[in-house]
Amino acid sequence: MKNPPRFFSRLRAQRLKDLDHATDYRSWREIALELDRLEGADAWKADDTSDDYDYLLIKERLLSLRRLRCAGDARQLAFELYEGLHGNLGNMSNPALYAVARVGTKKLIEDYIAEVARCLDFLCAGNFPDFGLEDKIQFFKRTATAFGRSALMLSGGGTLGLFHLGVIKALHAENLLPRVLSGSSAGSIIAACVGVRLDHEIDTLFAPDGLNLDAFRALGLREALRDGAMMDGAQLERCLDDNIGGYSFVEAFDRTKRIVCITVSPAEPHQQGRLLNYLTAPHVLLRRAVLASCAVPGVFPPVMLQARNYAGEIVPYMPGKRWIDGTLSADLPMLRLARLHNVNHYIVSQTNPHVVPFMAQIDREQGQRRGLAPLAAELVKQGGSGALRLARKHLDPYGGGRVLGRIDNIVRQRYSGDINIYPRHTPKRLLRIFSNPQPQDIQRYVRSGERATWPKIERIRNQTRISRTFEDCLRLLKAEEQQLMRAQRRADAARSHIQRRPAGLIPS
């Protein structure tokens, strides 16, 4: 009787080792699925019931949508989707539902999400006499706006930000890379590099020589005292020019349709941090925005932004103002992304060295905000922030008060999202946070980012599938609308040409 448990234990230990040495996501997933079977997680996934979500509501909605789709009732199906579609219906996005199995969650949740996507595809592709193209476009626009969409947010972290490359690689390989990308400081470099590249060009980023990362050149003592910075900003700008080019925000958007958002903080008082993108600063040069977002005080000098004027010339943008590190005002600008781009689901790649050590605890507390420990942590945070604000009132606003203000901003920020991806905390890497990485270092960072993303892939796939289906359907419907408009213009032109012909030349 002792052999089976011993055999199971040895098999599980071997599979855990295999999991640690998997070379790609497909291999990792197959091993993880086998572990789910060995550990009983498969049985948990097949069982609809759980106290962590309203499984009766999800089952009822699933059966209702499936019945309407099979009946071919397009208008009633559209009505049901518009009235009841929600990203966290019945608490089905609860993190606890993704903490049991290594791959996926309750089969009922996955079946419901798949049915919603199937219904949307059915409405998009079907030919219905009472639900034409105009009705479809109106339905998809309104319902997609109500449902929201996801964004990938890349934090600061100096050279540690190369971890983001691995996150990008893993998501891109599974066609899960969101269109909305935000970046601050080091994260802004990666966001911009992705934002100017087409889908088939992104893979070049992951090669050892895919990016010019010769960004850091220490200044001599005299230059450092003159500029108030240890590193050469011109060297960083040359590096960014090689990687990003001369695109403005709107030019990058027109090329790739990716929405790149870069945070910058003011170097002077009486200014607020800004989120730069193709809506708020369309003609600002992307590389200068990234340069400003990377300008860590004392490391790189403050930056004046540049933009293209109406004649296409590069000119100063707000020439009297200078900008610095975006993490000081908004490492993760969630509220502004929500207002500008209808984002309500945040995938965060977090590499800030002062945050990463606490990310595992933040993940454990997600979905379990009750209890004395979370309450105590929140009280300490609020108390510390209040003390900082009180101290600012009694200090010189242009001296110590400004320093405390920046510390207060850092303390009060939120550094986690709905899904968090972060590296293992390695103090050794902190020593090289402002140094140029070697090719072997880049590969280690990319591999680290990939491996940290793999356990989150199925959760990301599930929680973004509906919004991705909305985007795909709207793209197809708009293309169909444009095709019809072109055909209509050709028909109108032909009729106009016939009407202008002399009467004697018109065939009887």
C-alpha distances in Å from residue 192, one per residue of 316, 443, 489: 20, 20, 38
Q: What is the DSSP string of 202-259?
A: GGGGGSTTSS------BPPHHHHHHHT-SB-HHHHHHHHHHHH-S-BHHHHHHHH--E
**CA 247, CA 238: separation in Å to the nearest integer?**
14
Q: Examine the residue annotation and report whether 185 is marked as an active-site residue of this protein.
A: yes
Provide Rg for the chain, Cα atoms. Answer: 26
- Of 173, 175, 177, 212, nearest to 191 by C-alpha is 177
Q: Report yes or no: 165 and 203 within 8 Å, Cβ to Cβ.
A: no
**CA 332, CA 416: separation in Å to the nearest integer?**
8
**CA 306, CA 284: separation in Å to the nearest integer?**
6
Q: Report yes or no: 53 and 109 within 8 Å, Cβ to Cβ.
A: yes
C-alpha distances in Å from residue 155, one per residue of 42, 173, 258, 451: 35, 21, 18, 18
Q: Which of 42, 325, 331, 418 is catalytic?
A: 325
Q: Which of 185, 293, 349, 467 is catalytic?
A: 185
User: In 10 A of CB 331, how many CB atoms?
Assistant: 28
Output the CA angle 199-202-204, nearest 5 degrees: 140
**CA 322, CA 52: separation in Å to the nearest integer?**
49
**CA 410, CA 405: separation in Å to the nearest integer?**
9
Residues near 205 by Cβ (< 8 Å), separated by ≥ 6?
165, 168, 169, 193, 194, 197, 211
Bridge partners (DSSP) listed for residue 419: 347
Q: Report yes or no: 332 and 311 within 8 Å, Cβ to Cβ.
A: no
Q: Is beta strand 259-266 parallel, antiparallel or unpaired with respect to 274-276?
A: antiparallel
Catalytic residues: 185, 325
